[in-house]
Amino acid sequence: MSLVYGVFANYDRPLLSPTAANEIGTTSNPVDFLDSLMTWQNRLLEITEDIQSKHFENLEKRFNSKNKHRQFNVGDFVIQQKNATSISGKLSCRWIGPFLVMDRRYNDPTHPVLDLMNLTDMKVKEAATDDCRIFNTSWFDEETIIPELTKIAAADLDEYVVERIIEHRPKGEKRTKPLSNYYFLVKWEGFSEATWEPYSGIKNLEPLDIYSQEHPDLKIPISSSE
């Protein structure tokens, strides 16, 4: 007993206490005492089952209610179920994002729709509220939250973040050909090597907007306003 319980056992103590027996039943007979214990145990099981049943009924009403929808506000960051999109990629990733909530519309009262902006390319898409969850941003610094969330979004979408545009070809400060014929040397965030990418692959990105302002004679449209 000492090895099992780490205490000195009192071997003179009776197995069943008459006081405990009287609290449960009115007899000190061991057999009757055990019957009383079994009766109380069954009663406790019934009470537990009743409580659990009511709890699950409340949960079912909460999640299956057609009149209640998740609340999202403009400016919130959310993640979206991956199987609700056409994106393929990481099998272990059930959610993608975060996305920025631009608007919430009630064009169908039973199925509210969110307008979500992809942080990696600034494109806006529709998403059902039932497929989205709030993304907690409380542990991010306010000054660096957008770059940090963009990194996360790019990783989930199997994309890479453009850090800056270094140069372009054909060379020359004045554009002489359609932009579809131009390539841009891209510095990728987190990678030392730069690669040449076609205009179609990097248009609408903020680093290209910055490069356009630095080279106005190239007449590169700002934010896809072609």
For 146-203, the pLDDT digits (tens) are 888 988 888 766 667 888 999 999 999 899 899 999 999 999 887 888 999 999 888 8
Q: Are 77 and 98 in contact (CB under 8 A)?
A: yes
What pLDDT is stored for residue 154 in this prediction? 82
Across the range 29-56, mean pLDDT stands at 74
Query: pTM of the prediction?
Result: 0.45
Which residues lie closer than 8 Å to 27 by C-beta, 6 or more apart? Answer: 21, 33, 36
Top pLDDT among 134 and 34 is at: 134
Residue 109: pLDDT band with limits 50, 70, 90: low
Owner of token pair 């039943």 = 25
Q: How confident is the model at residue 3 (pLDDT cuts 50, 70, 90)?
A: very low
Strands 124-128 and 113-118: antiparallel
Q: Please give the structure tokens belonging to residue 10.
A: 């009192």
Count the Cβ atoms, other than its own, within 10 Å of residue 179. 17
**So what's the pLDDT on residue 6?**
46
pLDDT score, position 165: 94
CA distance 3 to 205: 70
What is the rounded average pLDDT of the residues 99-114? Answer: 79
